[in-house]
Structure 1
């Protein structure tokens, strides 16, 4: 039986399938994911399908501009790491990613990390990050993606994300 990702969409190419490591939170079983948008052809489910690496499946926002993904955990989680992958093969751009966490069911968030990535079709097209953290009792984790820091009309993309415990 194949279970589906619990998700909500807020208004406003094949990779390698990898098993979920034992020290990783099963997002499908233990969280709801709230997103600002998703494209029909590249839904949010793709970030948890186990496909990783260049050419893997990916979530693509359904609209341009900044997008947020909020992972609402069923029970507080002790997060020791975040692994995520982003791929952009079409447009040269500078993307910003920001992570925020909450320990009070999303009433308040605090920023824990902000990164920028430069993508270029003739150069760097893939980014994988493995962040080591110490975040006890997290109820919600928000990832905000600003697809271009300039004035390009771009969509946010994310190939994969996992939270280590």
Structure 2
């Protein structure tokens, strides 16, 4: 039986499949993902389909501008790391990623990390990050993607994300 990602979309103004490490939290079985938008041709499900690396499937926002993904865990999780991948082959842009966590079911969030990446079709087109963390009893993890700090007419993209226990 093939299980589906539980997701909710809310309104707002060729890779290879790899098996996940044993210490990976199964997002499909353990969380609901709330997103501000998704493209019909590049759904949110693509971030957990096991495809990783350059050319892998990806989620593309259905709207331009900043986007938010909230991973609402069914039970509190201890998170030792986050692995995520982003690919941009079409336009030069500076993307900003911000991660925040909550231990009280989303009532309050605290920022844990903010990163910027420069993408260029003639240079850097793929970014993979492996973050080592020590987060206890996380009920919600929020990822905010500002697709281009200099141009609000870009769409956020994410190829893959995994949480390590």
TM bucket by the smaller chain?
A: over 0.9
Q: Could you give the per-residue CA deviations for residues 18-42 of structure 1, whole angstroms, max 9, x where no partner exists?
A: 1121100000000000000000000
* 1:152 CA drift (Å): 4.8
- Per the alignment, residue 107 of structure 1 pairs with 107
Cα separation, 2, equivalents of 1:128 and 1:122:
18
Cα separation, 2, equivalents of 1:89 and 1:42:
15
* 1:151 CA drift (Å): 2.2
Which SS does the other structure have where 1:45 is aligned? helix
Give the alignment's Cα RMSD to 1 decimal.
Answer: 0.5
Which SS does the other structure have where 1:136 is aligned? strand
Within 5 Å, which residues of 2 pair with 1:144-163?
144-163=144-163
Cα separation, 1, equivalents of 2:134 and 2:61:
29
Cα separation, 2, equivalents of 1:155 and 1:42:
11
1:128 aligns with 2:128: yes
Cα separation, 1, equivalents of 2:21 and 2:43:
23
Cα separation, 2, equivalents of 1:128 and 1:20:
15
The runs of 5 or more residues in structure 1 that have no matched partner are none
- Per the alignment, residue 46 of structure 1 pairs with 46
TM-score, normalising length: structure 1: 0.98
The runs of 5 or more residues in structure 2 that have no matched partner are none
Within 5 Å, which residues of 2 pair with 1:1-165?
1-12=1-12, 14-165=14-165
- Name segments (4+ residues, structure 1) moved above 2 Å: none
TM-score, normalising length: structure 2: 0.98
